[in-house]
Amino acid sequence: MKKIIIGADHAGYDIKEFIKKYLEKMGYEFDDVGTFSTESVDYPEYAERVALGVKKNKNNVGILTCGTGIGAAIAANKIPGIRAALVSNSREARLSIEHNNANILTLGGRPFDKENVRKILKAWFSARFQGGRHLRRIKEIEALEKKYLRK
């Protein structure tokens, strides 16, 4: 079974705590890498923690939250091999897996709609990567990473 690495900055703390309850209810195993309060912190630190947890084991996936989800997604995507997708609805969540094989789901925490978050999580966890032409595109993304990485 996949392990989920979950993290947030202070603005994503409340949605992270909501997501943890959902994951527990659904029987998913997860590691919470912080933050553990609403005290102001910087999202790149938590994006890195989640991304490295995902990178450590190809079966792991991550969930990141910050105020809008934008900063956390940008920061996580700096780590080679990470495909963090900022989504706002269940269709985007499903397609982030089916077409992009996303390994980190990124959500905005201010504000958030509990029912929408449940739908997003359900869609994300039930979707499967379609491969085919989408695999070709993932390989092209990996080639871009290698092209621009410092040696």
Active site residues: 66, 99
Q: Where are the alpha helices (DSSP H) in 65-132?
A: 70-76, 90-98, 114-126
- 87 CB-side CA count, 13 A: 28
87 CB contacts (<8 Å, ≥6 apart)?
Answer: 93, 96, 105, 106, 107, 120, 124
Q: Is 58 exposed, middle or buried (0-12, 13-18, 19+ CB in 10 A)?
A: exposed
Distances (CA, A) of 34 to 45, 46, 65: 10, 7, 11
Helix (H) or strand (E) holding 32: strand 29-32
